[in-house]
Structure 1
Amino acid sequence: MAQQTPQLTRSAPSAPAARTGFGTGLLRRRELSIVLVTIAAFAYFSLGSYGSAFNTTNNYHIIMQYFAPWAIIAAGESMLLICGEIDLSAGFTYTFVPFVMMAFYNQGLDVPLSLVLAILVSMGIGLVNGLIRTVFNLSSFITTLGMGFFLEGMTYIQSNAEPTPPPLTGTLADVLGGWRWSELVWALLIIVLMQVALSYTKYGVYAQAAGGNPLSAAESGIKVNRVKVATFMLTSLFAGLAGIVDQVRVGSFDPTSGGSQMMFMAVAAAVIGGTALLGGSGTVIGALFGAVLLAIIQNGFTLTGVNAYAFDVVIGVAVVAAMLLNVYISSLRRKYLR
């Protein structure tokens, strides 16, 4: 009887265990870099020689007045950038929509109906932007640039280049900017809503797919153009709402407010917060921290007496530095989270 030789078998190497832990969890967060920088900026101005002026309720309210409208618009701009698009008309929508509300009110409509119609007009602006972009395949840069100039002219026509007091009073006015912290509540609600939509809904998945690889997304059944049009409408909706809320807080609808400055700050907040300019990835929460960082720097510069023109220099450096830091942290993710 032949003696059987035992066969030695080698088991396939097991896949490396996924790395876990607090540090690894932090690396997974796209907002890591902007959170750290924001904390550092807050600590610098809070603990410095002007800390007593910085750490007051009134000053925190001033910081909120800076970042709240930027954050509201940045919530839409972040989603649009994730889709691979951009809206350069958002700052002009911010200025135009309050005067649309006034136009309806001056025609004899009551305030709530005028408000609803103005919001619908703001969504219509986004619809036009989205349809021109998707139907005619015209770049969003050119489409929204033209829309921005159009809205700026229409604002001056509607307002006769003069500010006007908002018609809101009572509870509605308090909700839409009259209460001291209502603008902050609006910003936080919108940011949380859009982050949840990005992270936990099909819309968020479709938006990332539309920006990351639109051809593959379309082949897999995603209605890429519909996603982009809907996101243009969301961005314009947030811009119009931010215009009403912010200018009700100020107590005047001003045709010189907003514009390109408001748009650039919102886009800068989104980019600094970790949203990729080329589309496919991003974070709405990061846009909030980006807006807070810009507000802290602007407020801190004001308190310390730094020339206001230097703020634009800092924004330029911050955008580039944020992108470089995001690239570095992305390389760390690839290295340690494989």
Structure 2
Amino acid sequence: MTDRSFGRTVVQALVRQKELSILVATIAVAIYFSVTTTGFNLSDNYLTIVHYLAPWAIVGAGEVMLLICGEIDLSAGFMFTLSPFVLMSFYNGGTPLILALILALLVCAAIGAANGFISTRFGIASFIVTLGSSFLLEGISLLMSNGAPVAAPSSGWVVSAFGKGHWSETLWVLGIVVVMQILLSATRFGISTQATGGNPVGAAEAGIRVNMVKVVNFAIVSTLAGLGGIIDGLRLGSFDPTNGGPNTMFLAVASAVIGGTALLGGRGTVVGALLGALLLGIVFDGFSLAGVSANTFDVVLGAAIVVAMLLNVYLGHLRKRLSHI
């Protein structure tokens, strides 16, 4: 094989494999910070990067499913905030911690399903419905917490398994990504989700219950956001009503978009969202180690989202051309 043909093969692989290009970019950024900063390659710093990206990756795993449907949930960050206080309301009432956690996640799922039902049943854009839900959930969080942090349970196997264990957060992120990617790519529901976003009229004519698929995905997003908030709070040892919110939601969506998910629906992968979150986590951590202002991260994030969207459009055209070769 000549150098030219080898190069063409590499380029075609980067184009066809949605996650490969973002993986290359992530590795390049990691190498850059490894060379230019001190302490990047320490195990404790790797754990710090996980702490950065875990909420974005967990919430992003759900947002990918909803974005593929052609919808979005702006309230996911506030569900991230609210779920620990729902858990504590059950726990303080005498419910065992594991049962309180399950009940809290069921409440999250119900709220997500309600968002989906209102959006699909009454034809209201999910952007508007979940924007309203965001303010509602934020207000409930402040009322339940009295606007102050609440101490989280600090002992027991549930606490250790759901965030307090040294690498438990990492295992949850990887486990959720694997399960959600399998759900998306290897199940009938995942195929229905992609069809719903890619061609809703055709999907409906093929017998897919498009509205039901969307409602279920709304519930999935809320459940994962709630789980992410509980895991993060148990790790930190307190539940803070200022944690989560729009910052977590926007970074989760940014992770999905950078990872190759199309905002117009029909295309995306959960693994790509994980790689997008990893890239953002490495950049955030690298800037911190280099002493760069946190405001610079917002500049990089904004540029990265715009570039990612342009690149996704360009790569989409290239894939279509290569599929005819």
Q: TM-score range by the shorter chain?
A: over 0.9
Deviation at residue 305 of structure 1 after TM alignment: 1.0
Partners of 1:213 and 1:168 lie apart in 2 by 48
Deviations 1:27-71 (A, max 9, x none): 3211122112111111110122x1x31111111110000001110
SS in 1 for 2:18: coil
Tell me if the contact between 2:154 and 2:237 (Cα under 8 Å) persists in the aligned partners. no
Tell me if the contact between 2:58 and 2:173 (Cα under 8 Å) persists in the aligned partners. yes
Matching residue of 1:193: 179
Deviation at residue 336 of structure 1 after TM alignment: 2.7
Q: Could you say what the CA RMSD is over the residues aligned between the two structures, in angstroms?
A: 1.4
1:128 aligns with 2:114: yes
**Match of residue 44, structure 1, among 20, 24, 32:** 32
Matching residue of 2:243: 257
Matching residue of 1:243: 229
TM-score normalized with structure 1 length: 0.91
Deviation at residue 232 of structure 1 after TM alignment: 0.3
Matching residue of 1:204: 190
Q: Deviating runs (4+, > 6 A) in structure 1?
A: none
Which letter does structure 2 place at the counterpart of 1:56? L
Tell me if the contact between 1:105 and 1:111 (Cα under 8 Å) persists in the aligned partners. yes
Deviation at residue 332 of structure 1 after TM alignment: 2.6
Which letter does structure 1 place at the counterpart of 2:107? V
1:286 aligns with 2:245: no
Tell me if the contact between 2:97 and 2:158 (Cα under 8 Å) persists in the aligned partners. no
Partners of 1:104 and 1:23 lie apart in 2 by 54
**Match of residue 31, structure 1, among 3, 6, 19:** 19
Which letter does structure 1 place at the counterpart of 2:262? A
Which letter does structure 2 place at the counterpart of 1:31? E
Which letter does structure 1 place at the counterpart of 2:19? E
Matching residue of 1:146: 132
Deviation at residue 333 of structure 1 after TM alignment: 2.0
* Aligned counterparts, 1:1-338, within 5 A: 24-48=12-36, 50=37, 52-338=38-324
Q: Which deviates more, 193-202 or 72-81?
A: 193-202
Partners of 2:102 and 2:50 lie apart in 1 by 26
Aligned pairs, number = 317
Which letter does structure 2 place at the counterpart of 1:210? T
The runs of 5 or more residues in structure 1 that have no matched partner are 1-19
Matching residue of 1:14: none
Q: Which deviates more, 24-33 or 69-78?
A: 24-33
Q: Which has the larger radius of gyration?
A: 1
Tell me if the contact between 1:33 and 1:322 (Cα under 8 Å) persists in the aligned partners. no
Which letter does structure 1 place at the counterpart of 2:203? A
The runs of 5 or more residues in structure 2 that have no matched partner are 1-7
What percentage of aligned pairs have identical amino acids? 55
